[in-house]
A = this chain, B = another copy of it.
Amino acid sequence: MKKRKKLRSDIAWSDATHIVVRGHNLVDLIGTTSLGDFAFLELTGRLPTPEESTVFDAIVVVLVEHGLTPSAISARLTYLGSPEALQAAVAAGLLGIGDRFGGPAEEVARMLQEAIAGGGEEGDMAAGIVAVKRAAGRPVPGLGHPIHRPVDPRTARLFEVAAANGFSGRYVSLMNAVSGEASRVFARPLPVNATGAIGAIASELGFEWRVCRGLAVIARAIGLVAHLLEEDREPLASEIWSRVDDEATEHLRGITDERD
């Protein structure tokens, strides 16, 4: 086996008597470290401050449960076919947390981080961001919401928690400036939605933009397990299957008179 490059990982190791995660003895963390703090440790390599802990938990909590999403339905349908493998049903659900559902927070964070890395006045950054999206005929991510109108109720609370813990800095400010600029340019109210708030606050916490899709995946795994436990008690999958199949192939069957 020809070696070209040494394999190296700094996350964890164990032997007969040690289990070490990110430099901490795992045993010392059991019973003293919350799940959110442990996740922060995993992702950043250090435990959070109390303020970071509160803000991190706040943004992840918002991502856990969005009701009967395509992901949740897909997980339930998968569980019907593969009851032996709950992990596969969760995985099927997570596969739908892509560009459309997991992507926007990532896109917000990237947009803000690249703008601020580029430097300049906030107003100019906001104008630049909106102009680029407009020229491309694409929506500005993190603004507006198809259901939560006129404002997304999560946004104010997320920004409030971030501010109360010292994480309302340049990214949050820029996100609000982008909202103002976009509302002006597109001549309609485009308030920051939960995704916009999460992308901005994750940036305040120092997370690289690509972590945001990962936060959505972590959070949604929790929600999907809850949906599968409910599916066990109150199944939906089989009924969805028969309804969809019946309706979608009705025109092929040539029987239109006996259905509702």
Contact = CB atoms under 8 A, between A and B. Distances in A.
Given A19-B153, A94-B90, A218-B222, A3 B243 contact: yes
A149 to B, nearest CB: 5
Interface string A65-108: 11111110110011011111111111110111111111000000
B241 A70 contact: yes
B4 A67 contact: no
A140 B69 CA distance: 37
Given A1-B246, A35-B35, A157-B27, A95 B99 contact: no
A84 B86 contact: no
A78 to B, nearest CB: 4
Contacts of A160: 31
Given A27-B154, A157-B30, A245-B67, A82 B61 contact: no
Nearest to A254: B13
A240 B244 contact: yes
